[in-house]
C-alpha cells in the first residue's frame, strides 16, 4: 500500500487508517515535532512548522516506527484533543478548536435547545407594575440573549 508517496507495510497502513478514522490528537497545534513521540501519537501541525514538519502546516502528523506520516485534512474531519477534552473540526481550510455546531441538543429524548428564537421584548405596561419581577425577567432575557438562545 502506498501512502504519501512511499510504500508502507500493513501495520503502517493501519496506523494511517486509524489517524483518519478515529483521530485523537495529543495537544492543540504546535509547530515543532516532539522530541520523543510514542508510536501512534498524532498531532495537528501548527501554522509555522519547523524541523521534520516543515511545509506541513495544518496537516495531521502521526508517529510510526518508520517516522512521521502526514495526512491532509478534509472538510469536516473531526478530532478529539486528548490534553483538553475538546473537539476540533477542519472547516473552510482551517482547524476550529472547541466549537460545536448543531441544529439542536436532545437530552433523554427531549429537545432542550434548538434554533434561535425570535427576540422577546422586555416587559412594559400593565395595570400593576412589579419592579422586582420585571428586573428578574430582564435578567433572564439578558442571559438568553447573551448565550444566543434568543435574538436581541
State pLDDT tens for residues 100-112: 888 888 888 888 8
Q: Measured on CA atoms in the order 116, 118, 119, 123, is the torsion positive or negative?
A: negative
Of 20-24, 58-62, 65-69, 93-97, the poorest mean pLDDT is in: 20-24
Judged against a pLDDT cut of 70, whether residue 117 lies above it is answered with yes
Which residue spans within 59-134 are E strands per DSSP? Answer: 60-64, 67-71, 78-81, 86-91, 94-97, 105-107, 110-113
Question: pTM of the entire structure?
Answer: 0.65
- Each residue's pLDDT tens digit, 132-152: 999 999 999 999 888 888 888
pLDDT band at residue 7 using 50, 70 and 90 as cut-offs: very low
What would the mean pLDDT of 117-144 be, rounded to a whole number? 89
Indicate whether 87 pLDDT > 70: yes
Angle among Cα 130, 131, 135 to the nearest 5 degrees reads: 120
Task: Give tens-digit pLDDT for 88-99.
Answer: 999 999 999 999
Among all chains, which residue has been given the C-alpha cell 400593565?
126
Phi, psi of 41 (to 5 degrees): -60, 140
The proportion of the chain whose per-residue pLDDT surpasses 70, expressed as a percent, equals 86
pLDDT at position 18 is 62
Predicted confidence at residue 4, as pLDDT, reads 41
Amino acid at each position: 500500500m502506498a501512502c504519501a508517496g512511499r510504500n508502507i507495510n500493513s501495520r503502517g497502513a493501519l496506523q494511517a487508517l486509524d489517524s483518519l478514522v478515529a483521530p485523537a490528537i495529543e495537544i492543540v497545534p504546535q509547530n515543532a515535532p516532539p522530541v520523543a513521540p510514542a508510536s501512534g501519537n498524532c498531532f495537528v501541525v501548527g501554522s509555522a512548522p519547523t524541523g521534520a514538519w516543515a511545509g506541513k502546516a495544518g496537516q495531521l502528523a502521526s508517529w510510526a516506527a518508520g517516522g512521521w506520516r502526514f495526512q491532509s485534512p478534509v472538510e469536516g474531519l473531526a478530532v478529539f484533543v486528548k490534553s483538553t477534552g475538546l473537539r476540533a473540526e477542519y472547516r473552510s481550510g482551517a482547524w476550529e478548536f472547541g466549537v460545536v455546531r448543531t441544529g439542536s441538543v436532545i437530552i433523554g429524548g427531549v429537545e432542550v435547545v434548538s434554533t434561535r428564537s425570535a427576540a422577546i421584548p422586555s416587559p412594559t405596561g400593565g395595570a400593576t407594575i412589579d419592579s422586582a419581577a420585571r428586573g428578574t425577567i430582564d435578567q433572564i432575557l439578558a442571559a438568553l440573549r447573551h448565550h444566543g438562545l434568543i435574538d436581541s
